[in-house]
Amino acid sequence: MILVTFANPGHVSDIMRNAYKPKGKRVSLNRDFPKEIQEARKQLWGEFRALRNTIGPRNVKIKFPAAVTVAGKTVKDMFPDWNSVLAQHRGQNLLKRMLDAY
C-alpha cells in the first residue's frame, strides 16, 4: 500500500478524475475519506439516488466533501464551512493516522 497526502484537495480531484486501471495489472486507486466524511456521504446517498432518478444522472452529483448538487447548484451540504477546516494544517498527526490505518 502506498499512501499519498496532498495539501490541495483540488489535486486529489484531478488525479481521481484522470486515473485509469492498466489492463492486466492488479492496481487500484481509491480515495480514503475520514470517517466523518464517509458518514456524511452515507447520509446523503438516499437523497442523491432519489434526485438522480427524478432529474437524471448527468445533472446530480455528490461533491467533496459531502454535498449534493443539481446542475451545479448545491442543494444539500453536510459541511458548509469546509473551507475553514481546510485552512488548518492537513499534515497534523499524519504518522498516527497512517499507523491507525493498519
Q: Where residue 67 sits, what CATH number does that domain have?
A: 3.30.250
How far are the Cα atoms of 14, 21, 65, 78 from residue 40, in angstroms, in the given order? 22, 28, 9, 6
Let me know if residue 6 belongs to a domain.
no
Number of domains in the chain: 1
Query: In this model, does residue 21 exceed pLDDT 80?
Result: no
Range(s) of the domain holding residue 84: 33-101
Q: How far apart are CA 19 and CA 27, in angstroms?
A: 11
Query: In this model, does residue 87 exceed pLDDT 60?
Result: no
Let me know if residue 63 belongs to a domain.
yes
Band the pLDDT of 2: cuts 50, 70, 90.
Answer: confident
Model confidence pLDDT, tens digit, residues 26-57 = 777 777 788 888 899 999 999 999 999 999 88
Closest by Cα among 64, 61, 59, 62 to 11: 64
Q: Note the pLDDT of residue 6.
A: 79
Let me know if residue 20 belongs to a domain.
no
